[in-house]
Amino acid sequence: MLDVPLLIVGQSCPAHDGRTFERCNPVTGEVVSRVAAATLEDADAAVAAAQAAFPAWAALAPGERRARLLKGAEQLQARSGEFIAAAGETGAMANWYGFNVQLAASMLREAASMTTQITGEVIPSNVPGCFAMALRQPCGVVLGIAPWNAPVILATRAIAMPLACGNTVVLKASELSPAVHRLIGQVLQDAGLGDGVVNVISNAPADAAAIVERLIANPAVRRVNFTGSTHVGRIVGELSARHLKPALLELGGKAPFLVLDDADLDAAVEAAAFGAYFNQGQICMSTERLIIDRKVADAFVAKLSAKIETLRAGNPDDSESVLGSLVDVGAGTRIKALIDDAVDLGATLVIGGQLQGSILQPTLLDGVTDTMRLYREESFGPVAVVIRGEGDEALLRLANDSEFGLSAAIFSRDTSRALALAQRVESGICHINGPTVHDEAQMPFGGVKSSGYGSFGGKASVEHFTQLRWVTLQNGPRHYPI
């Protein structure tokens, strides 16, 4: 069992009142981690620690910040085994956590490369003798709230660019992957970033709302970023607006995967299976809607069904398991209800749908219509639905018939045709002849509509994690009207 204390001012410490909570393996029920349950006083202490550390961290030369972040990336990779050992918190496969560590290390390296790329500009002034500048400076304390589904990637993303921009951070760990999020903080502490530069607090599930509100309301917190569900994102956005804190929100998705009538079906099937079922579909970019031209739909469904037969979900410790577990039994119950609703209303269950505890076999449904919940609701599980249309315009209308707009994909042998469609898909991200699940540290990552606003990733996030200021220098006398 893993012991998970808070990380405040570089020190491991229990909750103020000594309370803890436990996180159990969703497959076996065994306790994986015993976790400090932060109080409101602990939330205040974490922000105070970050605030105290801010002047020194912000004043560091960019080359020194870069060196420390690069050391953090090296240590993150070197401790990959420790992260994989905590995979039982979410029931994920070891290869998913290994991939998480590699991409998270890349994010730290990309952030390190950006420390000297935070630039301003000189702007001509109409006032004689006035030299005017637009400067980007660190904001102060940044609050990062990260989810459990890609725990190393998304928690690292929540803090890497804020740190590169000269801010200090408080990371609020997910209640479902607290050991992993705490370990990220420890890695960066051990890499020598400095006491209080990175602080990590965990909380019991029942305390989440109070802790988040306390953190956002703290005057020292100047920026907020949140990755998670649209439901919770709306709450975080409202709280941030109430306290006049800019928030970057990366929320839910219902990614459309368009297959045009000239697509390479074999390539499309491989990308669709990966996008829909990797990590049990518990990825914000997961392929949920397969929008297929009628001319090729039957062939595509047959090929994809054959591919799905090779994908078995099960206990990650079972060598025959290709896919792992859902995050908990409740997720399985919720997703099964969506499947049953679609079937009851006339959809065809092509393959899958078997549920045992937190293990749900990869599922494909055909004939899904807008009367069914699965047409619009994010399943966040290993479920993809086939929606048929005739011609590119019909496929585009179906793709955009969603409140979400995070990731999308289009498959066609005619790349000009696909690019013309991609520019009209209502999503923050669109891949041509590639899967909807694709992330790189240097790329702008964000959604539109109910998938949130703002972008993570390299240069795209500098605007959010810095304060733009206007500074003037008056050379010589100036005329005043009074």
Find the catalytic residue in 89, 110, 250, 378: 250
48 lies in a domain?
Answer: yes
Return the pLDDT at 217.
99
171 lies in a domain?
Answer: yes
Return the pLDDT at 362.
98
Judgement on whether residues 183 and 285 belong to the same structural domain of the protein: no
Judgement on whether residues 106 and 238 belong to the same structural domain of the protein: yes
Return the pLDDT at 364.
99
442 lies in a domain?
Answer: no
Extract the tokens encoding 466. 């810095």
Largest CA distance in the chain: 84
Task: Give yes or no for a contact between 161 and 104, defined as CB atoms under 8 angstroms apart.
Answer: no
Return the pLDDT at 363.
99
Judgement on whether residues 331 and 215 belong to the same structural domain of the protein: no
Return the pLDDT at 112.
98
- Opening angle at CA 412, ends 391 and 256, nearest 5: 70
Find tokens 């990733």 and name the residue: 457
Return the pLDDT at 43.
99
Judgement on whether residues 233 and 263 belong to the same structural domain of the protein: no
Return the pLDDT at 147.
98
Judgement on whether residues 280 and 234 belong to the same structural domain of the protein: no
Return the pLDDT at 401.
98
Judgement on whether residues 146 and 18 belong to the same structural domain of the protein: yes
Query: What CATH number is associated with residue 337?
Result: 3.40.309.10
Closest CA to 353 of 345, 364, 342, 344: 364
* Residue 117 burial class via C-beta count within 10 angstroms: exposed 0-12, middle 13-18, buried 19 and up: exposed
Which residues, in sequence order, are bridge partners of residue 12?
Answer: 7
Is 238 designated active site? no
- What is the total residue count of the chain? 482
Name residues of the chain where pLDDT drops below 70: none
Judgement on whether residues 454 and 414 belong to the same structural domain of the protein: no
Please tell me the distance from the alpha carbon of residue 19 to that of residue 219, in angstroms, as a whole number.
26
Return the pLDDT at 343.
98
441 lies in a domain?
Answer: no
Closest CA to 273 of 382, 381, 413: 382
The 10s digit of each residue's pLDDT in 415-459 is 999 999 999 999 999 999 999 999 999 999 999 999 999 999 989
341 lies in a domain?
Answer: yes
The 10s digit of each residue's pLDDT in 304-329 is 999 999 999 999 999 899 999 999 99
Return the pLDDT at 458.
83
477 lies in a domain?
Answer: no
Judgement on whether residues 101 and 156 belong to the same structural domain of the protein: yes
Return the pLDDT at 277.
98
In total, how many domains does the chain have? 2
Query: What CATH number is associated with residue 142?
Result: 3.40.605.10
480 lies in a domain?
Answer: no
Judgement on whether residues 198 and 54 belong to the same structural domain of the protein: yes
Judgement on whether residues 372 and 416 belong to the same structural domain of the protein: yes
Judgement on whether residues 209 and 261 belong to the same structural domain of the protein: no
Judgement on whether residues 75 and 136 belong to the same structural domain of the protein: yes
Return the pLDDT at 17.
98
| Residue 159 structural domain | 2-251+447-470
- Opening angle at CA 412, ends 408 and 415, nearest 5: 90
Return the pLDDT at 480.
95
478 lies in a domain?
Answer: no
